[in-house]
Amino acid sequence: MVADGGETYDYDLVVIGGGSGGLATAKKAANYGAKVALFDFVKPSPQNTKWGLGGTCVNVGCVPKKLMHYAGLMGPAMRDAKNYGWQLPEDTPGFNWSTLVEVVQNHVKMLNFRYRVGLKSAQVTYINALARLASPHEIVYERRGVEHKVTAGKVVIAVGGRPAYPAGVPGAKEYAITSDDIFSLDHSPGKTLVVGASYIALECAGFLTELGFDTTVAVRSILLRGFDRQSAEKIGEVMEASGTRFVKGAVPSSIEKQADGKLKVTLVDSTTGAHVMTETFDTVMYGTGRTPDTAALNLEAAGVTVLPNGKIPVNGDESTNVPNIYALGDCAMVDVNFMESHWANPELTPVAIMAGQLLAARLYGKGTDKMDYTLIATAVFTPTEYGAVGLSEEDALKMFGPQDVEVYLQEFSSLELQATKDVSHKDLDEENDMPPMCLSKLVCRKSEGERVVGFHFVGPNAGELTQGFALALKLGAKKADFDKLVGIHPTDAEAFCGLEITRSSGIDFVAAGGCGGGTCG
C-alpha cells in the first residue's frame, strides 16, 4: 500500500491506456519512484482487427503508416531508377501486398514486445484489461468474468480515440475498413475508395496509389481542413498528377456487397444530396476522423466532466475537474484558448508523450514545466510530404489582419526529380509531366519585425526538414534570420534561405531556373 494525502492506496498512480501518452507517463512516474499500474486493452474493430500493447501510433498509426509510405515511395523511385540507368528485370516490377503486411506486422510485434519489456524493467504493473472508474480513486476491471478493483492516489486517463464511421450510411460499418484494419489487411486492397480528406485519408490514399492500386478519394469539402490552403491544394495537385482520383464534394450514401464480393458504392453531393456516381470497389476505407474512447470509462462515477464530443476538458497542466484525475493525449481537450485552429490541441504522438512525461515529472519529481501546446510541428506523409509549424496564411490573416502579414514563397521541383521528369511547371499535357512538387512558404508578421509565424514546406522529406526549422520558430526567428542562413547545396531546404518573392508583389512564384531549392545558375 502507498500513502497519498493521508489515505492509503494500492498504487500511487494508475494509468488507463497503454498508448503513446500512457506508456510515457507510467514509465516516467515509475522512474521517479512511484508505484504504478497501467491498464491497456484493445477492443476489436468492427472488422475484428486486434493488436498488442502500445496504442494507436505503433499498431495502427504512425509506425505502420510510415512503413507503408516508405514502401510506396519505392514505386516512383524505381521508375526514376530506370531513367538514371538502373536495369530493372521487368518493365513494371510486381508488388506483393502480403509481403508488405508481413514485414510491417513483424516490426509492430517486435515493438509490442519491447513495450512490455520496457514496462517490466521500469517496474510498472501491466494489466491487460478494460478499466473503468468506480470513484475518483477506484478503478475496476474484469478478468475471466470476475470483477477486480484497485485503488490509486492519482489516475491518468490516456485512452486515445478510435476511427469514426459516419452514421446513416447503410453498409459502412459492415463492409468498410478504417485505419484500424488497413495495415494488417490479409488480402490485397485492390481498387479502393478512401472516404475523407485529411491526414489519414490522404496518407493512405497516397501510399495505395504509389503501390499501384487504383485509388479514389471522396472529398466531402476541402483537403486538409485547418492547414494552409495553398499547401493543402499543392498536395492534392501532386497526388492527382501521380494517379490518385479525387471526387470532390461527394460522400457515400450507401455501400452494398455484391454477389462477387465487390462493394457497390453510391456517392452523392455532400451539399445537395444529388446522385454523383455509382461504382464498384474492392475496398472502401473510411478516414473520417476519430472519436475519443471515453464512453466506457464510467467517468460520471468519478465526477469527471466530459464534452459532447467525448473529449475530457483539461487545464494547461492536464488536470481535470476532479483533483486527483488527469487526462492527456488524443482523449483530452486542452483549454489553451490559443485560437480556434488545428494547432491548439493536436492529436499527435510526441504531444501525448511530452505531456505525459512533464506531468509525471511534476507529480513525482521536481519538475515544474508545463506542456507548451503552441508551435507544434507536424507532417502529413503523403507521397510528396507536407511539413508545417505555426499559422497557415489564412489563420495569420484572420489573426493579425492583411496589413500586418507578408508571405514569402516559391514553388520549384527537387533537383533529382527535375533531372528525370519533364517538370514543366504548369503544363500537364504530357503523361510524364508533373507540376512543381515543392512549395516553400514563410508567413511573417510585419509589426514584429517580420517574425515568422508560419512555416510550410511541401516536398520530399518534409517531416525531416520541418523538425529543424520548427526550432527556429520556437526561438522567435525573423525573416531576416532565414535570409542570413547559408544554405546547404543542393537541397530543397535551401529554398528557405533567402525567399524573395512576396505574395503582395503579385510576381509569379514558380521558380523559372535554378536547381531544386537553390538559386545557382
| Number of residues that this document lists for the chain | 521
244 near ligand NDP (CB under 6 A): no
Work out how close the CB of 82 gets to ligand FAD at its nearest, in angstroms, rounded to a whole number: 30
Residue 489 known to be catalytic: yes
Q: Does 56 bind ligand FAD (CB under 6 A)?
A: yes
Look at residues 376, 354, 348 and name the one whose alpha carbon lies nearest to residue 367. Answer: 354
Q: Which stretch binds ligand FAD (CB under 6 A): 39-47, 106-114, 300-308, 313-321?
A: 39-47
Residue 467 binds to ligand NDP (criterion: CB under 6 A): no
The Cα 1–Cα 360 span in angstroms is 20
Locate 115 and state its grid cell.
513495450
Q: Which residue in the set 288, 294, 392, 466 belongs to the binding site for ligand NDP (CB under 6 A)?
A: 288
385: contact with ligand FAD by CB under 6 A: no
The yes or no reply on residue 310 touching ligand FAD (CB under 6 A) is no
CA distance linking residue 384 with residue 206, whole number of Å? 9
Burial class (CB in 10 A: 0-12, 13-18, 19+), 85: exposed
Buried b (16+ CB within 10 A) or exposed e, 431-462: eeebbbbbbbbbbbbeeeebbbbbbbbbbbbb
Residue 230 CA to residue 228 CA, distance in Å, equals 6
Among 68, 150, 176, 195, binds ligand NDP (CB under 6 A): 195
Question: Which one of 378, 382, 384, 410 is in contact with ligand NDP (CB under 6 A)?
Answer: 378
Q: Say which entry of ligand FAD, ligand NDP, none residue 56 contacts (CB below 5 to 8 A, set by partner kind).
A: ligand FAD
195 interface partner picked from ligand NDP, ligand FAD, none, CB below 5 to 8 A per type: ligand NDP
Near ligand NDP by CB under 6 A: residue from 212, 346, 490, 514: 346
For the bound state, the minimum distance from the C-beta of residue 116 to ligand FAD, rounded and expressed in Å, comes to 13
- Count of residues binding ligand NDP (CB under 6 A)? 25
Pairing of strands 283-286, 146-157: unpaired
Instruction: Considering the complex, state which of residue 204 and residue 511 has its C-beta at the smaller distance from ligand FAD.
Output: 204
**Spatial separation of the C-alpha atoms in residues 42 and 24, rounded to whole Å:** 18
- 72 near ligand NDP, rule: CB under 6 A: no
Q: Residue 304, interface with ligand NDP (CB under 6 A)?
A: no
**Residue 490 preceded by cis peptide, ω within 30:** yes
Cβ proximity of 61 and 179 under 8 Å: yes
Q: Is residue 330 marked as binding?
A: yes
First to last CA, the chain: 73
Q: Is 430 annotated as a binding residue?
A: no
Question: Which one, 17 or 310, has the nearer CB to ligand FAD?
Answer: 17
Give the cell for residue 357. 512525461
| Residues annotated as catalytic (active site), given as ranges | 489
Name the site residues for ligand FAD (rule: CB under 6 A).
16-22, 39-42, 55-57, 60-62, 65, 130-131, 158-160, 179, 200, 293, 296-297, 329-331, 347-350, 352, 381
